[in-house]
Amino acid sequence: MSIEVVRIPVLSDNYVWLARESESGEVLVVDPAVAAPVLAKAEELGWAITQIWNTHWHPDHVGGNAEIKAATGCTITGPAAEAERIPTLDVQVKGGERIAFGAAEALVLDVPAHTAGHIAFHFADEQIIFVGDTLFAMGCGRLFEGTATQMFDNMQTLAALPDNTTVYCAHEYTQSNGRYALVAEPENEALAARMAEVDAMRLRGEATVPTTIGLERATNPFMRAATADQLAERRAAKDSFKG
């Protein structure tokens, strides 16, 4: 694989992703909530940050933009539909466009619902995708600015990717998502087995992401929803779930 990805835990449950493309040596930060831990990790690795990519405008995804740019001179790319809410953007992109990261290239996917202009970045050749807050391990983003139909369409788009696609989402929500998933699909044996593994990992203090498309197809109640109405029902139930 030509892209190496490093997980940086920040705030209470965010993950910032730091990636390096081996042929060019370019270094990318995806959704920097804060700057200091990102700059420190890059320095530790000897990686010179050249780009930041934002999936959406929420402060816990763009909060580190300005400080990282000031320190590195990097270029910041993000959703054109949310440019007014991300004043640090240098490059605006939308679904269907392609972005270079050294010798690699990502396809931008429009995945609105969590926010109106949310995007994802798919590296088909490397079989990885950065999804921000659209898809989580056994979960999906809250519908803050969009509809269940939009999120259902997003789930279908993502489910169509190869099973071995590695999914880099932005939060450690797996355990709480899984507790609801067990209620939504109590007879799903793959889900029960996964939750046992997740509980053990969290007990050891381990991260549970990235995940894969194949694993989500088997265990994610939102990706597995048969209709937009069913996804809406599940999303509403998860929003009020206390388990």
Catalytic residues: 56, 58, 60-61, 114, 133, 171
- Cα atoms in the 13 Å half-sphere on the side-chain side of 1: 12
94 three-class SS: coil
Strand (E) or helix (H) holding 27: strand 27-30
- Cα atoms in the 13 Å half-sphere on the side-chain side of 95: 12
Q: 7: Cβ–Cβ under 8 A, 6 or more apart, which residues? A: 15, 16, 17, 207, 209, 210
Taking a C-beta distance cutoff of 8 angstroms, is the pair 15, 21 a contact? no
Taking a C-beta distance cutoff of 8 angstroms, is the pair 4, 19 a contact? yes
Residue among 109, 111, 65, 107 nearest 85 (CA): 65
Quick check: bond before 32 cis, omega within 30?
A: no
Beta-bridged to residue 120, according to DSSP, are 109
Residue among 27, 128, 70, 82 nearest 91 (CA): 82
